[in-house]
A = this chain, B = another copy of it.
Amino acid sequence: MDEYLSALDTELRHAVITPESAYTAYYGMFRYHLGWTDTQFVETQTNPGKRIRPLLCLLACETLTGDWRRAMPAAVAIELAHNFSLIHDDIEDASDERRGRAAVWKVWGLAQGLNAGDGMFVLARLALDQMMERGYPIAKCNAVSRVFDAATLALCHGQFLDLGFEVRDDVTIDEYMQMVGGKTAALISAATRIGAMLATDDAQMIAAFARFGENIGTAFQITDDILGIWGDPQITGKSAASDILSKKKSLPAIFGLSHPRFGEALRAIYRKPALDQPDIARVMVLLDAIGARAYAEQRADEYRAAALAALAETGIANRAMSLLRDAAELMTRRVR
């Protein structure tokens, strides 16, 4: 995918060009967050994130037209919207780090960090506006714009639910699914939906790509939840069982906390202000005993299967479609 990533990187850089020198430090924050500079705005090469969402958008378009470049403005908008949410999430979760470096708000303070997130969101919209310049019919631009707006609203809804979960120990699996539908699946579904919209007017086809994104987005989040507890620290870059330590209401945790037999034992541990190593070990034993991991893996498999079924429904078989299936595979790989 190097060619796609390189073209995407170029377009992303265009989208965050400093418009005048008074805003050098403002756009510098964007570039730092996107992995291109250090905190002094000196060019550097760091981990820019996986850029899964824009790649899915480009590939969805390519499966239908053979041309991935025409979806580029939308792919850029989606990646910027994702990064807007990361900048704000880090403030909301009081996370000091992002992709192995200090989060924007830790470097420039909460106020500037928050305002940088807002700016990234506006830049996402302006990137979408670029579609007009690329000669797309105006009605198409408008339809894409509305899908984008709906996805960002879903993102906010999901984040609202997720923040609410932090102070509760009675979150249900249905509530979790609704949260993930907003926080993770909505933007991924918008990515594949918009990629298809820019390729065709066939509503059934567009719906199939949207369904693919929604399901693979959900499977992706559940996989991330599994790795947050059982992932190899050497590979995930996080401490072992990091989501237990942070008491995150991930799917395995919710499965455990709501378990008829062992839920109360887990809730008792989760009520402690902070967990120590013996607590974490005990939670791991309980989660293993009730099959929390197997449950989450099964749910992830179901969603991945639904995602692949949606792709199969399109009847398309070409190189881009294979790449899309590979992406689905990578997004749900349990060893990372």
Interface residues of chain A, those whose CB is within 8 Å of chain B, are: 22-23, 25-26, 88, 91-93, 110-112, 114-119, 121-123, 125-126, 129, 132, 138-139, 141-142, 145-146, 149-150, 152-153, 156-157, 159-161, 163-164, 175, 178
Contacts and interface: CB of A to CB of B under 8 A. Distances in A.
Task: Give how many copies assemble into the complex.
Answer: 2
A23 B122 contact: no
22 contacts: A22-B161, A23-B160, A26-B156, A88-B114, A92-B110, A92-B114, A114-B114, A115-B156, A115-B163, A116-B160, A118-B156, A122-B149, A122-B156, A123-B153, A125-B152, A126-B149, A126-B150, A129-B145, A129-B146, A132-B142, A138-B138, A138-B139
A152 B115 contact: no
B122 A153 contact: yes
A132 B160 CA distance: 28
Contacts of A156: 26, 115, 118-119, 122
A187 to B, nearest CB: 12
Contacts of A125: 125, 149, 152
Given A126-B149, A153-B119, A163-B115, A110 B91 contact: yes
A124 to B, nearest CB: 10
Contact of A119 (B25, B129, B160): B160
B92 A111 contact: yes
Contacts of A91: 110-111, 114
A163 B118 contact: no
A145 B122 CA distance: 12
A207 to B, nearest CB: 20
A163 B111 contact: yes
Given A121-B121, A129-B146, A129-B149, 4 more contacts: A26-B160, A91-B114, A115-B163, A138-B138
A174 B141 CA distance: 38
A84 to B, nearest CB: 8
Nearest to A154: B122
A81 to B, nearest CB: 10
Given A126-B153, A129-B149, A157-B26, A118 B164 contact: no
A156 B126 CA distance: 13
